[in-house]
Amino acid sequence: MRVKLLRFFLLSPEKVYEPKEAAKISCTSSGAVSKEARFLLSLGFLKTANRTDVFIKKNKNKSKIIKKRVKGFQLSQTFPYLLALRNLLVNVSPASRERMLRFFKNKGKIKLLVLGGIFSNDFAVDTLDSSGRLDLLIAGELKRGAAERFIKKVEADVGKELNWTLMSAQEFDRRLAMHDKLLRDILDYPHEFLINKLGVE
């Protein structure tokens, strides 16, 4: 449990999470997360922080912007052993890759499956700069609901919300020809092809 929570915050250093949110993503209980978070707070690994969530509430012909202040926990960038913990804990096991390959080979007609971000070799070195990049790019025919359910399981394994996208092979080709930033942010950085039937280099 403690290792899972350490990984969770190391892999999402810029985000503020309530215990119940961290529990949902990591598939653990909210009470256990709260207890561990308080302990990590006492060590200086975490700090208390706030974020502002913005919602748009529609009522007939009117729309109202609602702002909600949320209190939670965030990784402390001043923790003295941060780099050592990153190098020790953020490496994703080969089992996660094998699990993804089995799933996407057996579901739909996948033409391209690219891993980047958290799955790239340089992720532990530059976590903050990597946080906005895609972790997973899927191109082909696959029901989004099936992909979402599977990815939630992978997120629980790796301890992080994944940045991912699913698109048709035609859309991928179109975006690639336009040098689309979404694609370049994964293809221009360290990445790995698990499936590559489109001949992408």
> pTM (2 decimals)?
0.67
Q: In what order do the strands lie in the sheet with 109-115?
A: 164-167, 136-141, 109-115, 192-196
The domain ranges of the chain are 2-89, 94-196
Model confidence pLDDT, tens digit, residues 186-195: 999 889 999 9
Model confidence pLDDT, tens digit, residues 103-134: 998 887 999 999 988 887 554 444 445 556 88
Residues pairing with 166 in the sheet? 138
SS3 of 110, please? strand
Q: Specify whether domain 2-89 bears CATH 3.40.640.10.
A: no
DSSP state of 198: S
